[in-house]
Structure 1
Amino acid sequence: MTLHDDATLVLKAYVPEDEADGQAELRRGYLDHLAQHDDGMWKACGAGHLTASALVIDPERGKVLLTLHRKLRVWLQMGGHCEEQDATLEAAALREATEESGITGLTLLPGGPVRLDRHPIPSPCTWHLDVQYAALAPPGAAERISEESLELRWFGYADAPGVADASVVRLLEATRSRL
């Protein structure tokens, strides 16, 4: 099975918790994109491409780990482009979260993606069709900054909306409702 096939199956199985927030429409758009673009998983796809991300969360401490993205200069969840070695979207999200947070032993919250988010990206990319997961930090997790970040910082649930954009806040809310 290819990563494209896996993404199609994941999106077909994705059931948004709230039909009113546009998730069902995004899901259809993602599936249409994959049906129209054999290269829709890869950065080279001029019409945009799927990405995988994960919000690193420590429910025991009531905190989330955000990265100050080096290029975009905004606080975001960990995530990025799928790579050839990624067998599944879940594997891509977990790889990205581990690489960018430096935390070993992360586990994805069961139940598949938490949310979808489509956002424009500066050239040469056009659109990221992000499939968003949540990753649970193990007890005593110690983060380590990567070259993709200017900074990593744990934020309390109540503090995250003051620094992160609306898509991260929605992802945090949806993640907390799943916990």
Structure 2
Amino acid sequence: MSLHDDAVRVLKEWDAPDTAQDHLRLDYLSHLDAHPDGMWKSCSAGHVTGSTLVVDPQGGRVLLTLHKKLKMWLQTGGHCEPQDASLAQAALREGVEESGIAGLALLRPEPVNLDRHLTPCAWHLDVQYAAVAPPGAVEEISDESLDLKWFAYDEIAEVADGSVRTLLARTRALM
């Protein structure tokens, strides 16, 4: 199964948490139907990306990255790569690469949230997952970040935008 086919399967099977998310899910499916290259950065009309919110439920905290280009505190994530076997695997790979934490485990195999946003390269049709950090996890900054920092759940509203706040709220509801 191709990564494109996997993304279509994931989006078709995903039970969106509300009407707005379901509309976005259908928009993503329409985009993938119209763009066979819609998984890749080269698709200038926009492309599917995978991101992962790294959580430490025992510590009541979230790891965010200060994105190098966007200068915002965000969850880890980015572009799909040809070696990614699935959309979930792409999101988890991005989480490990950008956090430096080995042993991350997806909270669940399905997405938590969808978020479409404009970036310098194109529209990102972000499929967002959550991953649990192993006990004692130590982060290591990558070259894609200006900084990495753990934030208590109640600090997120002060440092992150609405998309991260929504992703955290939906993640906490699933834990």
Common fold: TM-score over 0.5 = yes
Deviation of residue 18 (structure 1)? 2.5
> Which of these residues, 104, 109, 113, is aligned with residue 106 of structure 1?
104
Deviation of residue 110 (structure 1)? 1.3
Q: Secondary structure at the match of 1:30?
A: helix
Is structure 2 residue 16 aligned with structure 1 residue 16?
Answer: yes
1:90-126 residue CA offsets vs partner (Å, 9 max, x unmatched):
110010000000000000011400000000112xx22
Is structure 2 residue 149 aligned with structure 1 residue 156?
Answer: no
Percent identity over the alignment is 62
Is structure 2 residue 149 aligned with structure 1 residue 133?
Answer: no
Is structure 2 residue 47 aligned with structure 1 residue 49?
Answer: yes
- Tell me the residue number matched to 2:168: 172
Of 63-72 and 106-115, deviating more is: 106-115
2:134 is aligned with what amino acid? P
Give the TM-score normalised by structure 2. Answer: 0.99
1:118-174 residue CA offsets vs partner (Å, 9 max, x unmatched):
00112xx22000000001000000000000000000000000110001000000000
Q: Secondary structure at the match of 1:158?
A: helix
1:80 is aligned with what amino acid? G
In 1, the alpha carbon distance for the partners of 2:135 and 2:24 equals 34
In 2, the alpha carbon distance for the partners of 1:111 and 1:50 equals 17
1:62-115 residue CA offsets vs partner (Å, 9 max, x unmatched):
000000000100000000000000010011001000000000000001140000
In 2, the alpha carbon distance for the partners of 1:80 and 1:42 equals 11
In 2, the alpha carbon distance for the partners of 1:10 and 1:49 equals 15
Could you say what the CA RMSD is over the residues aligned between the two structures, in angstroms? 0.6
Q: Which runs of 5+ in 1 are unaligned?
A: none
In 2, the alpha carbon distance for the partners of 1:83 and 1:169 equals 27
- Tell me the residue number matched to 1:35: 33
- Tell me the residue number matched to 1:91: 89
In 1, the alpha carbon distance for the partners of 2:129 and 2:143 equals 22
What stretches of structure 1 move > 4 A for 4+ residues in a row? none
Count of residues paired in the alignment? 175
